[in-house]
Structure 1
Amino acid sequence: MDDRAGRLVRPYTVSNGRTRPSSELGLMTLVMATGSRPKNYLGPDHAQVLELCGGPMSVAELSAHVRLPAVVTKVLLSDLVDCGAVTTREPRTAAAVRTDKDVLKAVLHGLRKRL
Protein backbone atom coordinates (compact mmCIF):
# COMPACT_ATOMS: atom_id res chain seq x y z
CA MET A 1 0.00 0.00 0.00
CA ASP A 2 1.37 3.36 -1.01
CA ASP A 3 -0.68 6.28 0.31
CA ARG A 4 0.05 8.47 -2.69
CA ALA A 5 -0.29 5.84 -5.39
CA GLY A 6 -3.03 3.81 -3.71
CA ARG A 7 -3.24 0.04 -3.63
CA LEU A 8 -0.48 -1.52 -5.69
CA VAL A 9 -2.26 -4.87 -6.11
CA ARG A 10 -5.58 -4.97 -7.92
CA PRO A 11 -8.55 -6.16 -5.82
CA TYR A 12 -9.33 -9.11 -8.10
CA THR A 13 -5.79 -10.36 -7.49
CA VAL A 14 -6.39 -10.33 -3.73
CA SER A 15 -9.47 -12.54 -4.14
CA ASN A 16 -7.83 -14.75 -6.80
CA GLY A 17 -10.35 -13.51 -9.34
CA ARG A 18 -13.35 -14.63 -7.28
CA THR A 19 -16.29 -12.27 -7.13
CA ARG A 20 -18.67 -14.35 -5.00
CA PRO A 21 -18.06 -15.28 -1.39
CA SER A 22 -18.78 -18.85 -0.29
CA SER A 23 -20.66 -17.54 2.79
CA GLU A 24 -23.70 -15.28 2.80
CA LEU A 25 -22.48 -11.96 4.22
CA GLY A 26 -24.28 -8.64 4.31
CA LEU A 27 -22.65 -5.27 4.82
CA MET A 28 -23.95 -5.13 8.39
CA THR A 29 -22.98 -8.73 9.24
CA LEU A 30 -20.82 -8.73 12.36
CA VAL A 31 -17.57 -10.66 12.18
CA MET A 32 -15.29 -11.74 15.03
CA ALA A 33 -12.18 -13.89 15.28
CA THR A 34 -12.64 -17.28 16.96
CA GLY A 35 -9.05 -17.53 18.16
CA SER A 36 -8.42 -20.45 15.82
CA ARG A 37 -5.68 -19.84 13.28
CA PRO A 38 -5.98 -21.05 9.67
CA LYS A 39 -4.00 -24.25 9.05
CA ASN A 40 -2.64 -22.89 5.78
CA TYR A 41 -1.32 -19.40 5.26
CA LEU A 42 -3.93 -17.59 3.18
CA GLY A 43 -2.03 -14.38 2.42
CA PRO A 44 -1.28 -10.93 3.81
CA ASP A 45 -4.74 -9.54 3.12
CA HIS A 46 -6.39 -12.43 4.97
CA ALA A 47 -3.98 -11.85 7.88
CA GLN A 48 -4.81 -8.14 7.94
CA VAL A 49 -8.56 -8.82 7.99
CA LEU A 50 -8.16 -11.46 10.70
CA GLU A 51 -6.12 -9.05 12.83
CA LEU A 52 -8.91 -6.46 12.64
CA CYS A 53 -11.53 -9.00 13.79
CA GLY A 54 -10.46 -8.92 17.45
CA GLY A 55 -13.85 -7.52 18.45
CA PRO A 56 -17.16 -7.54 16.63
CA MET A 57 -16.91 -5.47 13.47
CA SER A 58 -19.22 -5.13 10.50
CA VAL A 59 -18.23 -6.16 7.00
CA ALA A 60 -18.60 -2.52 5.90
CA GLU A 61 -16.18 -1.33 8.61
CA LEU A 62 -13.64 -4.01 7.73
CA SER A 63 -13.89 -3.08 4.07
CA ALA A 64 -13.15 0.55 4.90
CA HIS A 65 -10.21 -0.34 7.13
CA VAL A 66 -8.51 -2.56 4.54
CA ARG A 67 -9.39 -0.19 1.68
CA LEU A 68 -10.93 -2.90 -0.48
CA PRO A 69 -14.31 -3.10 -2.21
CA ALA A 70 -16.94 -4.79 -0.06
CA VAL A 71 -17.25 -7.77 -2.40
CA VAL A 72 -13.50 -8.49 -2.14
CA THR A 73 -13.65 -8.16 1.64
CA LYS A 74 -16.57 -10.61 1.67
CA VAL A 75 -14.51 -13.12 -0.32
CA LEU A 76 -11.61 -12.82 2.14
CA LEU A 77 -13.98 -13.17 5.09
CA SER A 78 -15.69 -16.20 3.59
CA ASP A 79 -12.28 -17.87 3.28
CA LEU A 80 -11.70 -17.17 6.98
CA VAL A 81 -15.17 -18.47 7.87
CA ASP A 82 -14.54 -21.66 5.88
CA CYS A 83 -11.35 -22.39 7.82
CA GLY A 84 -12.97 -21.57 11.19
CA ALA A 85 -10.88 -18.47 11.93
CA VAL A 86 -13.86 -16.09 12.16
CA THR A 87 -17.50 -16.37 13.07
CA THR A 88 -20.37 -14.24 11.80
CA ARG A 89 -23.62 -12.98 13.26
CA GLU A 90 -26.38 -10.98 11.70
CA PRO A 91 -27.16 -7.75 13.55
CA ARG A 92 -30.35 -7.55 15.54
CA THR A 93 -33.16 -5.86 13.72
CA ALA A 94 -35.34 -3.24 15.36
CA ALA A 95 -38.26 -5.68 15.34
CA ALA A 96 -36.23 -8.26 17.26
CA VAL A 97 -35.40 -5.85 20.08
CA ARG A 98 -38.10 -5.74 22.72
CA THR A 99 -39.08 -2.31 23.92
CA ASP A 100 -40.40 -1.39 27.33
CA LYS A 101 -43.65 0.57 26.98
CA ASP A 102 -43.03 2.41 30.24
CA VAL A 103 -39.71 3.73 28.94
CA LEU A 104 -41.33 4.85 25.69
CA LYS A 105 -44.15 6.56 27.59
CA ALA A 106 -41.63 8.36 29.80
CA VAL A 107 -39.69 9.55 26.75
CA LEU A 108 -42.89 10.74 25.08
CA HIS A 109 -43.95 12.54 28.26
CA GLY A 110 -40.55 14.24 28.51
CA LEU A 111 -40.70 15.36 24.89
CA ARG A 112 -44.20 16.78 25.32
CA LYS A 113 -43.08 18.75 28.38
CA ARG A 114 -40.25 20.34 26.38
CA LEU A 115 -42.53 21.32 23.51
Structure 2
Amino acid sequence: MANRLRGEIDAMLDGRRWTLVLTLGALAELEAAYQAGNLAELTERFSTGRLSARDLIRIIGAGLRGAGNAVDDDHVAAMTAAGGAAGMAAIAADLLQVTFGGEAEPENP
Protein backbone atom coordinates (compact mmCIF):
# COMPACT_ATOMS: atom_id res chain seq x y z
CA MET A 1 0.00 0.00 0.00
CA ALA A 2 1.38 3.38 -1.01
CA ASN A 3 2.13 6.00 1.62
CA ARG A 4 0.94 9.32 0.17
CA LEU A 5 2.73 11.21 2.96
CA ARG A 6 5.99 9.93 1.44
CA GLY A 7 4.87 10.89 -2.06
CA GLU A 8 3.86 7.38 -3.09
CA ILE A 9 0.80 6.42 -5.11
CA ASP A 10 -0.68 3.10 -6.20
CA ALA A 11 -1.73 2.65 -9.81
CA MET A 12 -3.21 -0.19 -11.82
CA LEU A 13 -1.17 -0.75 -14.97
CA ASP A 14 -1.53 -3.84 -17.15
CA GLY A 15 -3.98 -5.23 -14.58
CA ARG A 16 -1.36 -5.13 -11.83
CA ARG A 17 -1.03 -2.79 -8.85
CA TRP A 18 2.21 -0.82 -8.91
CA THR A 19 3.66 1.72 -6.48
CA LEU A 20 5.13 4.90 -7.95
CA VAL A 21 7.15 7.64 -6.25
CA LEU A 22 9.18 10.54 -7.57
CA THR A 23 12.30 10.23 -5.45
CA LEU A 24 15.11 12.77 -5.79
CA GLY A 25 16.74 10.40 -8.27
CA ALA A 26 13.53 10.17 -10.29
CA LEU A 27 13.17 13.96 -10.23
CA ALA A 28 16.79 14.32 -11.38
CA GLU A 29 15.96 11.92 -14.22
CA LEU A 30 13.06 14.16 -15.25
CA GLU A 31 15.19 17.32 -14.95
CA ALA A 32 17.72 15.76 -17.33
CA ALA A 33 15.02 14.58 -19.76
CA TYR A 34 13.50 18.07 -19.93
CA GLN A 35 16.79 19.95 -19.60
CA ALA A 36 15.36 21.74 -16.57
CA GLY A 37 17.90 23.54 -14.43
CA ASN A 38 15.98 23.04 -11.20
CA LEU A 39 12.78 21.74 -9.64
CA ALA A 40 11.01 25.07 -10.09
CA GLU A 41 11.47 24.83 -13.87
CA LEU A 42 10.23 21.25 -13.81
CA THR A 43 7.18 22.20 -11.74
CA GLU A 44 6.44 25.09 -14.09
CA ARG A 45 6.52 22.76 -17.09
CA PHE A 46 4.06 20.34 -15.51
CA SER A 47 1.75 23.02 -14.07
CA THR A 48 0.40 23.94 -17.52
CA GLY A 49 -1.78 20.83 -17.50
CA ARG A 50 -0.74 20.10 -21.09
CA LEU A 51 1.10 16.82 -21.01
CA SER A 52 2.03 14.89 -24.14
CA ALA A 53 1.97 11.11 -24.39
CA ARG A 54 5.78 11.22 -24.13
CA ASP A 55 5.44 13.27 -20.93
CA LEU A 56 3.12 10.64 -19.46
CA ILE A 57 5.60 7.87 -20.33
CA ARG A 58 8.49 9.78 -18.73
CA ILE A 59 6.60 10.75 -15.57
CA ILE A 60 5.08 7.32 -14.98
CA GLY A 61 8.37 5.61 -15.86
CA ALA A 62 10.35 7.79 -13.46
CA GLY A 63 7.75 7.12 -10.74
CA LEU A 64 7.92 3.38 -11.30
CA ARG A 65 11.72 3.38 -11.22
CA GLY A 66 11.70 5.65 -8.16
CA ALA A 67 9.71 2.95 -6.37
CA GLY A 68 12.30 0.33 -7.33
CA ASN A 69 10.59 -1.23 -10.34
CA ALA A 70 12.93 -2.34 -13.14
CA VAL A 71 11.05 -0.94 -16.15
CA ASP A 72 12.27 1.21 -19.00
CA ASP A 73 10.27 3.78 -20.94
CA ASP A 74 9.60 1.31 -23.79
CA HIS A 75 7.89 -0.99 -21.26
CA VAL A 76 5.88 1.91 -19.86
CA ALA A 77 4.84 2.96 -23.38
CA ALA A 78 3.31 -0.48 -23.92
CA MET A 79 1.41 -0.50 -20.60
CA THR A 80 -2.33 0.01 -20.39
CA ALA A 81 -4.55 1.58 -17.75
CA ALA A 82 -8.30 1.64 -17.23
CA GLY A 83 -9.59 4.57 -19.23
CA GLY A 84 -6.78 4.42 -21.78
CA ALA A 85 -4.85 7.64 -22.26
CA ALA A 86 -7.12 9.46 -19.82
CA GLY A 87 -6.31 6.84 -17.19
CA MET A 88 -2.59 7.28 -17.78
CA ALA A 89 -3.01 11.06 -17.52
CA ALA A 90 -4.85 10.62 -14.20
CA ILE A 91 -1.99 8.48 -12.85
CA ALA A 92 0.61 11.07 -13.86
CA ALA A 93 -1.49 13.93 -12.46
CA ASP A 94 -1.96 12.10 -9.16
CA LEU A 95 1.77 11.43 -8.91
CA LEU A 96 2.64 15.06 -9.64
CA GLN A 97 0.00 16.27 -7.18
CA VAL A 98 1.28 14.14 -4.31
CA THR A 99 4.89 15.10 -5.14
CA PHE A 100 4.52 18.85 -5.64
CA GLY A 101 1.09 19.81 -4.39
CA GLY A 102 0.63 18.14 -1.03
CA GLU A 103 -2.00 15.57 -0.20
CA ALA A 104 -4.84 14.90 -2.58
CA GLU A 105 -7.43 12.19 -2.82
CA PRO A 106 -6.27 9.36 -5.07
CA GLU A 107 -7.96 9.23 -8.46
CA ASN A 108 -6.98 5.67 -9.26
CA PRO A 109 -6.68 2.69 -6.96
Shorter-chain TM-score bucket reads under 0.3
**TM-score, structure 2 length as denominator?**
0.26
Structure number with bigger Rg: 1
